[in-house]
Amino acid sequence: MNVNILFLIFQLCVLIFSVMIHEISHGFVAEKLGDPTARLAGRLTLNPLRHIDLFGSIILPLVLFLGHSPVVLGWAKPVPYNPFNLRKDFKYGPLKVALAGPISNILILLILGGGARIAFSYLSPALVSLFAFVAFLNVSLAVFNLLPIPPLDGSKILPLLFPKIAFNIERFGFYGIFFVFIFLMFFSKVIAVITTYIFVLVSGPQVATHMFQFFNTLSR
């Protein structure tokens, strides 16, 4: 099988796993705060079929990959939750639920990126690069999801912090997906620069250099 196809499949698998953990984290925190909506909807599961979004999990990543974007990003189906059920923390509960997804991606970054940094001298460069790539994609997802554009988490976090702009963000509604696509087409390098800085900070310059060289070789 063509190496480019294998690389694409690998990226899609890592992406789907990462966005799945992201969404489960939203539902898990909501459950802990008193809202069983995600569990009752069958979304607190590791079955990827319950989470895959046709556009966000398949079409968008394919378009970015084929367009040679510096980052391949996407999302899963949003986990449903009812803020009125967050009886354990009505005030900050919605903020905690919204932050749970990006925080899960940052934790994966810290575990695998930090692990790759420690294991760099003991494991093969290829294996370290695979771990590092998972870390890199997850920090990309964290940065990406904090954009204040629906349906991303940033569109839910900012109104909680700045209620006066809530209406201006929410009125985008479904059309926010198109704004996300446009942003990625023209400003994906901004996400790539921020992502790379954070990634190098955690994994170290040696791991980052080997990872980029390894995957640049595969993608030729």
* Residues assigned a catalytic role: 23
DSSP at 41: T
The answer to whether 128 and 116 have CB atoms below 8 angstroms apart is: yes
Is residue 142 within 8 Å of residue 102, measured between CB atoms?
yes
Nearest to 101 by CA among 13, 27, 202: 27
- Are the C-beta atoms of 147 and 153 separated by less than 8 Å? no
Pairwise CA distance, residues 204 & 198, whole Å: 10
**CA 194 to the chain's CA centroid:** 14
